[in-house]
Amino acid sequence: MKALPKEAGIVEVTTGNRRLIHQRNRLQLSSGNRWNGIRLERLCGGPGEFSERYLLKHVVYLHLTPAMDSEWRFPGERWKRARISKGGIHIVPARIPHSGRWFSYAENILVEIAPELLAAVAPRQTQVELRTSLAIEDPWIAQSILALEEDVRCGTPVGPLYGETIGAALAAHLAGRYADLRQEPAHCGGLPSKVLSRVLEFIGDNLDANLSLQSLADLAQLDLYLFLRRFKQSVGLAPHQYILHQRIERAKSLLGDPELSITEIALRVGFASQSHFATTFRRIAKASPRGYRNAGVIRQVGPQETRGPTVRMRHDV
Considering the segment(s) 10-181 as one domain, its CATH architecture is Sandwich (2.60)
Whether 232 shows a pLDDT value over 80: the answer reads yes
Q: How far apart are CA 285 and CA 317, in angstroms?
A: 35
Residues in the chain: 317
Considering the segment(s) 243-305 as one domain, its CATH architecture is Orthogonal Bundle (1.10)
Q: Where are the beta strands (DSSP E) in 161-297?
A: 179-181
Whether 193-240 shares its CATH topology with 243-305 is answered yes
Digit-coded pLDDT (tens) for 233-253: 899 888 988 999 999 999 998
| For the chain, domain boundaries | 10-181, 193-240, 243-305
Q: Are the beta carbons of 139 and 89 closer than 8 angstroms?
A: no
Q: How far apart are CA 47 and CA 184, in angstroms?
A: 45
CATH topology (fold) of 193-240: Arc Repressor Mutant, subunit A (1.10.10)
Residue 55: the pLDDT is 92
Burial of 83 (0-12, 13-18, 19+ CB in 10 A): exposed
| Residues 6+ positions from 2 with CB-CB distance below 8 Å | none
Give me the chain's average pLDDT, please. 85
CA dihedral 190, 164, 151, 106 (to 10 degrees): -130
Residue 124: the pLDDT is 58
Terminal CA-to-CA distance of the chain, rounded, Å?
49
